[in-house]
Structure 1
């Protein structure tokens, strides 16, 4: 009897080790496939049912991802869109060579330190400079303006700005500059208008569309909103920043506009998701780029859906562009005006259910990202192809 009990104990121990070994051998791989003929480094996401299956029965705080076959762990970011404390999306940045695929391994181990990065996507409301909203990543930086900046113009006070256009900050470092430049500008007004080695702000928006501002084109005129009146920060990075801007009713259509803006690490383009509510059908949503003094060069490729303006500011090339689904484009043209900051490259689009998504961004020669207009055209063409051919994500568990 005793021998039987000992045998039973041995069998239980054996089966326990077998179960443990099998559990330890269970792995989940995320395969990222690139069908295009150039290498890509992009933020990818796991969401919905795929995310639920990935973390089922485990703690999301323990999750780590590494390149398969290495100990090279990657930066992660969780997105909670409705701020209910439950993560809706998992992000990481994938690198994939041309026409190939890469495997990443999912590991649940809280003892492995989370990877942090000195480069990031980031955004915030800036009350110390009236009420800007600013956003950036390792390549570009933008800002736009709130109700206090509008009030200052209307009441003829200093530090005012009246525009719904999108301003550009020309940076030549991959490190964050928003907080530093605003802090230094508070101590020394005008600081960020001078290049101290990281870039500067020489860009004039005025009432123009800047790079990516919108309006409604009708009767040979562009109706535009005033400054944003509210904002909502959804995610601040480090791989993706997301926020929304809300505008008071504008135009003869009584438009109430919400603008969701997303910027990923490594991208020159902000994603703009425009949602309009109106008292009657809106004929179009028109995205624009300022032409400043009309000395730059414009190219419109309506077939592929990219539109660009290249000019020199202080002797250095600045290239701006808009990418949008060409099926939505009605026309694109240069609306030239003698009035200051009223000339724009306009891309007139037909919205679906009063919604439009497009991408707007830029590259600055002094940052080293481009040397001429052809370089920028290539980046725009690649963006078109990337949107039409997103990285393919496959998740499989193995034993």
Structure 2
């Protein structure tokens, strides 16, 4: 009897060496195999080596039906690789990984939402932190900005750092070998928070109001944040933000969906300039923007990649009052949806050692976005 299998062909159409590339598959293309064998009993194999690859199913809407199947592979420039999908045979088991992605709501720390992979970690602030700030109670933070947790280990640290901080307040602000949180957000945009730019003013939402964790796993974590309506020069705007972070990436993918009764001005994506002593980099034609600054004797690069077709302009906005100076990247106006990428590279992690390395990484990422892998599935 002929073995049931399908072949996946993946082509890298660029001259770039692409590692930790996530390949996204539509489960409907494997319906007959899924119906007969189930999701977990299907494997993805490298056709040349025979290796069984790490993979992850994602249910986007919680209905029990998987909406996406993903795996990762490395590609040499202009390379074409083939993979085989077939049922697992006796003795074969899905591979496991010590590395992973992770995200969760953190009610024990004033409603943070935190997420990480093997290279970077982030958090943002929820309704309890907002209520505390508005009522002048301890522990409050009023911002929809994004905070950075600077990690320098490839294993998960979120739960450990929060636990340490519960036991000793301020523990995650001290680097004990895994990294720490020295990054100040305050009321700023932090690293990639947004607002609407109009008449030389940035109109921003308050903290996220609700969340939905969609997936966490060895390759990708996905979640959504919703924000209550806020005023943009007399009109009410709402936002739902979908956040995706893949293993091996220093950038996470933000997909914002906006609703309002009338046309919207430009979205402003910001990076806080802190003491304004760092160096900004703006390559509008490529959609690459960064800020390189020194924090506690190590340099940190924060970056934004906005697909170049959506870029209107970028500029430094330096003012005297605290937390209001930013590198601002403006999208073209009248967008109901906006997709962009934000992340960081930290010298102490030894992932990047110079501003040039960081900016080159962002340019490389921008080129990958413009020229995705070409995926085909056939018998």
Shift of residue 238, structure 1, vs aligned partner: 2.1
Preserved CA contact (<8 Å) 2:143 2:206: yes
Mapped to 2, the partners of 1:331 and 1:38 lie a distance apart of: 27
Preserved CA contact (<8 Å) 2:27 2:66: no
Unaligned runs of 5+ in 2: none
240, 258, 263: which is aligned to 2:240?
258
Question: 1:21-100 counterparts in 2 under 5 A?
Answer: 23-24=2-3, 26-40=4-18, 41-47=20-26, 49-52=28-31, 55=34, 57-100=36-79
TM-score scaled to structure 1, two decimals?
Answer: 0.91
262, 265, 270: which is aligned to 1:280?
262
Preserved CA contact (<8 Å) 1:253 1:281: no
In the other structure, the counterpart of 1:7 is: none
In the other structure, the counterpart of 1:337 is: 319
Q: In the superposition, relative to structure 1, how do residues 197 and 60 fare at CA in structure 2: closer, same or farther (>3 Å)?
A: same
Mapped to 2, the partners of 1:352 and 1:30 lie a distance apart of: 38
In the other structure, the counterpart of 1:297 is: 279
Mapped to 2, the partners of 1:48 and 1:237 lie a distance apart of: 18
Mapped to 2, the partners of 1:193 and 1:138 lie a distance apart of: 20
Shift of residue 64, structure 1, vs aligned partner: 0.9
Preserved CA contact (<8 Å) 2:266 2:334: no
* Runs of 4+ displaced beyond 4 Å: none
Whose helix fraction is larger, Structure 1's or Structure 2's?
1
In the other structure, the counterpart of 1:220 is: 200
Mapped to 2, the partners of 1:139 and 1:132 lie a distance apart of: 20
Mapped to 2, the partners of 1:319 and 1:203 lie a distance apart of: 12
Q: Does 1:350 align with 2:327?
A: no
Mapped to 1, the partners of 2:217 and 2:109 lie a distance apart of: 22
Preserved CA contact (<8 Å) 1:32 1:96: no
Unaligned runs of 5+ in 1: 1-19
Mapped to 2, the partners of 1:279 and 1:352 lie a distance apart of: 12
In the other structure, the counterpart of 2:155 is: 175
TM-score scaled to structure 2, two decimals?
Answer: 0.95
Preserved CA contact (<8 Å) 1:224 1:250: yes
Larger radius of gyration, structure 1 or 2?
1
Mapped to 1, the partners of 2:37 and 2:230 lie a distance apart of: 49
Preserved CA contact (<8 Å) 2:27 2:69: no
Q: CA RMSD in A?
A: 1.5
SS state of the match for residue 228, structure 1? coil
Which string of whole-angstrom CA distances, capped at 9 and with x for unpartnered residues, describes residues 36-74 of structure 1? 222212111101542436645432221011222434221
Mapped to 1, the partners of 2:352 and 2:185 lie a distance apart of: 22
Shift of residue 327, structure 1, vs aligned partner: 2.0
SS state of the match for residue 323, structure 2? coil
Preserved CA contact (<8 Å) 1:63 1:110: no
In the other structure, the counterpart of 1:382 is: 364
Preserved CA contact (<8 Å) 2:292 2:302: yes
232, 246, 250: which is aligned to 2:226?
246
Tell me the matched-pair count: 375
Preserved CA contact (<8 Å) 1:61 1:110: no
Shift of residue 79, structure 1, vs aligned partner: 0.7
Which string of whole-angstrom CA distances, capped at 9 and with x for unpartnered residues, describes residues 218-247 of structure 1? 111111111111111111122111111111
In the other structure, the counterpart of 1:11 is: none
Preserved CA contact (<8 Å) 2:5 2:87: no
Mapped to 1, the partners of 2:333 and 2:344 lie a distance apart of: 24
Mapped to 2, the partners of 1:121 and 1:367 lie a distance apart of: 18
Preserved CA contact (<8 Å) 2:119 2:250: yes
